[in-house]
Amino acid sequence: MFIYTNQENNQFHLTNGKVSYIFHVMKNGQLGHLYYGKALRHRSDFSHLQTYDVPTPASCHPYEDDPAFSLETLRQEYPAYGNSDFREPAISVGKEDVPHVPNFIYDSFKIVEGKPRLEGLPSTYVNDDEEASTLQIVLRDQFLQAELTLHYTIFRDQPVITRSASLKNEGTGNLVIDRLMGASVDLPDKEFIFTHLAGTWSRERQVKERSLEMGIQSISSLRGASSHHHNPFLALKRPAATEDTGEVYGFNFVYSSNFLMQVEVDHYDMARLTVGIHPMGFKWNLQPAESFQTPEVVMVYSDQGLNGMSQAFHTLYRQHLIPKQWKTEDRPILINNWEATYFDFNEEKLVDIARSASELGIELFVLDDGWFGKRNDDTSSLGDWHVDFDKLPDGLESLAAKISETGMKFGLWFEPEMISPNSELFREHPDWAVGVPGQSYTLGRNQLVLDFSRPEIVDYIYEKMSDIMKRTNLSYIKWDMNRNITEAFSQVLSARQQGEFFHRYILGVYRLYERLTSEFPHVLFESCAGGGGRFDPGMMYYAPQAWTSDDTDAVERLKIQYGTSFAYPIYSMGSHVSAVPNHQTLRETPLSTRANTAYFGTFGYELNPLLLSEEEREEIEEQVAFYKQHRSLIRDGQFYRLLSPFEGNETAWMVVSPDQSEALVGYYKVLATPNGRKHQTLRLSGLDEGRIYQAEGRDYYGDELMQVGLPLPTEFNGANSKQALRGGDFQSEVFYVKSR
């Protein structure tokens, strides 16, 4: 439907009117890249897009009589190393101990309407086959007796192409894969700003930018998780592009473990982008008849700036990634007891919190860490998934029933992938922990990691979790993962297979998610990893929301949520109102600002409602009612970033309903400024220019709100205490804009 094939010239053109992606078979039988960007009209021959360079005396070339044909300068589709291309390859595979330069030659293609699922891996999907078309290109290496398939899907309604690769061993001996990337794209120039999301615990996904330069620039993770430190997201933005204008290419890797996203700018200023499983520490043995499938790379092209890119990701993930049942269902407003009690609770305390929260209109009570084994702090009991009768003498069932009597749903925290050295499970199965036998273990938060590369361990945890889910009629699970993997060895894999460990581990995690989410489709999963250490599309395929950060401070959250919105829908970001002074920063922000920030996410509370004053309770009741009223707008609306917290003292964003009839606008000013700008307005986006909207009791045309802007309330300036509507630091407003 969206794939043209010029069969005489062996050319392929994927286009949907928004984006074009064109490649062909080169004269050496390998694939060459021709174009990726804004949609081009189709024509029967694109050969002229292959630009030959004048050969330089030093270049290497496979054809004696054609020195211009050098892989060093030609743009390629899925390059190998060892021929005349000296850049970093997409593939490196060989027979054990037999030297060979991979040489995958075009064999055939197949077009499939819709999009086949990737086996064992999370991936984007279609709801019906008309929503996308998939092109599969088959290449063969005769010597290796291996079949390489490159998978390209183009979506009908978004400027999105997804890519992955699979390799099949068709021979009789083993193959060893050292590198098999999800995608490689050779861009003709380097005039881009490399934009990514970096951070650490409590400070996730801060927007970072740098110009591309000759050499290799990359982001990666080698931690066994996609990580707090670098999100598997990268945008290449033209220097002149803004939030709303200009060209941006966005890439996101649908994977939750070690990854590499790199751009190599060569000596001719061409930029090669490579995205895939990090080759460091990776070595996969492919037995005869076996296949290896890479995770998927999502590629977005936007000619409407960063907002255009983000909106394409958001729409794709809302419609083609999260579990189907959560696309339209409201997510409950929750209260989580972590910051209210930490490990110090009993049944009475929990039920009191739940009852008090229920009176405020909150819908789900989540019992966080500390309900199992003998866990009174973080030094023990992970793996012992049975209730701690000292804290909850009548058991989880009794607690669940009492929570349900308060009118609330019940949710529980698990950290399924972990084992404490001080646990019954470890005493019984010390070999279940990841590590090298005979060598010391490195602890992280006093715990070790369970070897999820072993199916029997995944099965054991499945039994424990599913049993509790059934017995307590759970509505929600917070799936945490609080440390990264060290000594990454499995005690059951042979020495030769240890390079498979990280990938096998995450496949085990996906398998457990798959079993639990298919058996309990009504249970809402929220992923978490010490806050936002695994906020990636791989997790989102199973868990439609993720705990964005352990940092609940409203000011810090502006940056974290702003950065996260580059790739992920706001309705995927767990965002809670917590107590002040804030537990991470000791900052005191107004209750209104804490809610005004948290509304732009999946909303909840992380405080003790029994400690609130009457005024605070009234305010929270209103907040809860407000969120319920606008929940579907936040879920389905188009999100626009307006002012960046990375650039100044003010932040603003808004979400517009799909029919443009209403919008919610958040405006935040971190520090008060005395006698500042007069007549300050906030220019909105995404409205219908000709429609009349009501905002703050006045009528405006959409174009007025977008060109002139919405007047911001007067700020206290040292003289106008009577007229001022806002004063002091950390002030904010949320405006509701509705068409008449």
Query: Contact positions toward ligand GLA, by CB under 6 A?
Result: 338, 368-369, 413, 480, 482, 528, 530-531, 547, 550
Structure tokens at 662: 């209403």
Query: Is the CB of 194 or the CB of 345 nearer to ligand GLA?
Result: 345
Structure tokens at 547: 């705990």
Tell me how far, at minimum, the Cβ of 353 lies from ligand GLA, in Å.
Answer: 16
Tell me how far, at minimum, the Cβ of 550 lies from ligand GLA, in Å.
Answer: 5
Who's near 737: CB < 8 A, 6+ residues apart?
662, 663, 664, 665, 684, 687, 693, 694, 695, 705, 710
Burial class (CB in 10 A: 0-12, 13-18, 19+), 349: middle
Tell me how far, at minimum, the Cβ of 341 lies from ligand GLA, in Å.
Answer: 11
Looking at the DSSP bridge assignments, the partners of residue 669 are 650, 731
Tell me how far, at minimum, the Cβ of 529 lies from ligand GLA, in Å.
Answer: 7
CA 622 to CA 602: how far, in whole Å?
17
Tell me how far, at minimum, the Cβ of 329 lies from ligand GLA, in Å.
Answer: 23
Tell me how far, at minimum, the Cβ of 368 lies from ligand GLA, in Å.
Answer: 5
Tell me how far, at minimum, the Cβ of 549 lies from ligand GLA, in Å.
Answer: 8
Residue nearest to ligand GLA (CB): 369
Rg (CA), the chain: 27
Query: Is the CB of 241 or the CB of 412 nearer to ligand GLA?
Result: 412
Could you say which of 303, 384, 451, 550 is catalytic? 550
Helix intervals (H) in 520-651: 537-540, 554-564, 591-598, 614-636
Strand stretches in 30-81, DSSP E: 31-38
Tell me: cis bond preceding 581? Omega within 30 of 0 counts: yes
Could you say which of 141, 388, 480, 551 is catalytic? 480
Tell me how far, at minimum, the Cβ of 474 lies from ligand GLA, in Å.
Answer: 16
Helix (H, G, I), strand (E, B) or coil at 398: helix
Q: Whose CA is closest to 314, among 637, 654, 662?
A: 637
CA 408 to CA 410: how far, in whole Å?
6
Query: Is the CB of 338 or the CB of 735 nearer to ligand GLA?
Result: 338
To the query of whether residue 480 is one of the catalytic residues in this protein, the response is: yes
Query: Is the CB of 109 or the CB of 479 nearer to ligand GLA?
Result: 479
Query: Is the CB of 46 or the CB of 372 nearer to ligand GLA?
Result: 372
Helix (H, G, I), strand (E, B) or coil at 149: strand
Tell me how far, at minimum, the Cβ of 12 lies from ligand GLA, in Å.
Answer: 45
Residue 400, H or E segment: helix 395-405
Angle formed at CA 119 by CA 114 and CA 120, multiple of 5 degrees: 135
Could you count the other beta carbons within 10 Å of the beta carbon of residue 386? Answer: 15
User: What are residue 608's phi and psi, to 5 degrees?
Assistant: -95, 110
Q: Whose CA is closest to 309, among 371, 244, 256?
A: 244
Tell me how far, at minimum, the Cβ of 227 lies from ligand GLA, in Å.
Answer: 14
CA 368 to CA 366: how far, in whole Å?
6
Query: Is the CB of 259 or the CB of 547 nearer to ligand GLA?
Result: 547
Tell me how far, at minimum, the Cβ of 583 lies from ligand GLA, in Å.
Answer: 11
Distance of CA 269 to the CA centre of its chain: 30
Tell me how far, at minimum, the Cβ of 191 lies from ligand GLA, in Å.
Answer: 40
Q: Whose CA is closest to 103, among 89, 117, 118, 88?
A: 89
Query: Is the CB of 154 or the CB of 477 nearer to ligand GLA?
Result: 477
Looking at the DSSP bridge assignments, the partners of residue 679 are none
CB contact at 8 A, 417 and 492: no
Can you give the three-state secondary structure of 71-94, one letter per residue? Answer: CCCCCECCCECCCCCCCCCCEEEE
To the query of whether residue 659 is one of the catalytic residues in this protein, the response is: no
CB contact at 8 A, 675 and 700: no
Query: Is the CB of 338 or the CB of 568 nearer to ligand GLA?
Result: 338
- N-term to C-term CA, the chain: 40
Structure tokens at 204: 């996730």
Query: Is the CB of 552 or the CB of 638 nearer to ligand GLA?
Result: 552
Query: Is the CB of 480 or the CB of 500 nearer to ligand GLA?
Result: 480
Query: Is the CB of 420 or the CB of 651 nearer to ligand GLA?
Result: 420
Structure tokens at 634: 């936040």
Query: Is the CB of 167 or the CB of 528 nearer to ligand GLA?
Result: 528
Helix (H, G, I), strand (E, B) or coil at 133: strand
Cβ-defined contacts of 374-382 (< 8 Å, 24+): 375/343, 376/343, 376/344, 377/343, 378/445, 378/446, 378/447, 379/420, 379/422, 379/446, 380/420, 380/422, 380/423, 380/446, 381/420, 381/422, 381/423, 382/415, 382/418, 382/419, 382/420, 382/423, 382/447
Instruction: Tell me the catalytic residues.
Output: 480, 550
